[in-house]
């Protein structure tokens, strides 16, 4: 059914949507890249079953992993066949505050316009988020497209989902962010604070919310934030983690009690974002089902 939609949905791999949702909505993906110990791989070629091995290698590596955005050619190779089918495209991506992915998408759009291939039918959306936040915007656009929405209408659906979104995540250390040079406003937490358990959010850039002393306290604060979301009417929620399924399941159990429903999805964050935050991340957040259009 989704393959016949007049509007096609494209996202990058940092949405970390479960495979079954990608398949259900017919979402097309463009991969970012990660390099560890001199070996570069497309994230889309790394299965979830390999994530554990990647994070073990990352922890043991003396250097930092590096990541890179998709090339213009990567986007053109996905956009071209969709345009050839006469479709509109809504292409949703990782925040431009931390990645050049949106820039690559826009350059590909312009190239396809210049070549007379219909690039003007491409709508690029800067999610100003990543991971679960990006994933929720993608699902809002995909749901609208499946209902027959035009490109502009699906784009508006993504923006509605994004406008009510809040996501929080706790990490074990800021060391990986420091190594990767992507720490943004969290610079103030460096130095002697590297031993604390920071709680951060991503709102265009990574921002510190608070500092706690233990993983147990970080978990408790994430539960508190979930209660805040529920009180604000946000009942479309997600949980994501990095190499920590046990605590993710615990957080899901609390979330079900708080929200009175299952999460939209539960997922493990892959190597591109994981390279910059390291194993042990745990996050929760969401928007409203009304904003998602569900």
Given a cut of 70, whether residue 185 has pLDDT beyond it is: no
- Cα–Cα nearest to 11, from 94, 119, 73, 92: 92
Both tokens of 80, joined, read: 């071209």
**pLDDT tens-digit series, residues 228-239:** 999 999 999 999
Both tokens of 147, joined, read: 């209902």
Burial 228-265 (b: 16+ CB within 10 A, else e): ebbeeebbbbbbbbbbbeebbeebbebbeebbeeebbb
Measured in whole angstroms, how far is the alpha carbon of residue 280 from the centre of its chain? 17
278: left (phi over 0), alpha (psi -120 to 50) or beta: left
Domains, the chain, ordered by start: 2-32+69-163 (3.40.50.10440), 166-292 (3.30.1180.10)
Please name the residues in contact with 270: beta carbons below 8 A apart, sequence gap of 6 or more.
Answer: 13, 14, 16, 43, 46, 48, 51
- Give the pLDDT band (50/70/90) at residue 1: very low
Q: pTM of the prediction? A: 0.92
Q: Residue 190's pLDDT is what?
A: 52
Q: What is the mean pLDDT of residues 156-163?
A: 96
User: Which one is predicted more confidently, 24 or 4?
Assistant: 24
Separation of alpha carbons 156 and 79, rounded Å:
20
């Amino acid at each position: 059914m989704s393959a016949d939609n007049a509007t096609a949905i494209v996202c990058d791999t940092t949405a970390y949507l479960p495979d079954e949702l990608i398949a259900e909505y017919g979402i097309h993906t463009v991969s970012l890249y990660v390099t560890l110990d001199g070996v570069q791989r497309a994230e889309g070629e790394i299965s979830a079953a390999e994530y554990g091995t990647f994070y073990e290698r990352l922890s043991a590596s003396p250097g930092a992993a590096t990541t890179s955005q998709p090339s213009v050619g990567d986007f053109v190779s996905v956009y071209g066949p969709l345009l050839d089918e006469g479709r509109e495209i809504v292409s949703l991506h990782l925040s431009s505050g931390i990645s050049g992915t949106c820039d690559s998408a826009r350059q590909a759009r312009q190239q396809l316009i210049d070549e007379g291939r219909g690039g003007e039918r491409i709508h690029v959306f800067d999610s100003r988020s990543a991971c679960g936040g990006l994933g929720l915007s993608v699902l809002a656009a995909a749901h609208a497209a499946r209902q027959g929405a035009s490109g502009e209408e699906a784009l508006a659906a993504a923006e509605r989902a994004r406008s009510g979104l809040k996501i929080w995540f706790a990490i074990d250390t800021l060391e990986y962010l420091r190594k990767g040079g992507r720490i943004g406003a969290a610079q103030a937490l460096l130095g002697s604070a590297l031993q604390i358990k920071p709680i951060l959010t991503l709102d265009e850039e990574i921002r510190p919310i608070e500092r706690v002393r233990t993983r147990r306290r970080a978990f408790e604060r994430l539960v508190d934030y979930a209660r805040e979301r529920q009180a604000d009417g946000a009942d479309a929620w997600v949980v994501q983690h990095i190499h920590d399924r046990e605590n993710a399941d615990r957080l899901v159990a609390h979330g079900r009690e708080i929200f009175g429903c299952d999460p939209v999805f539960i997922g493990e964050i892959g190597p591109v974002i994981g390279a910059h935050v390291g194993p042990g991340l745990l996050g929760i957040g969401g928007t409203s089902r009304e904003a998602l259009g569900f």
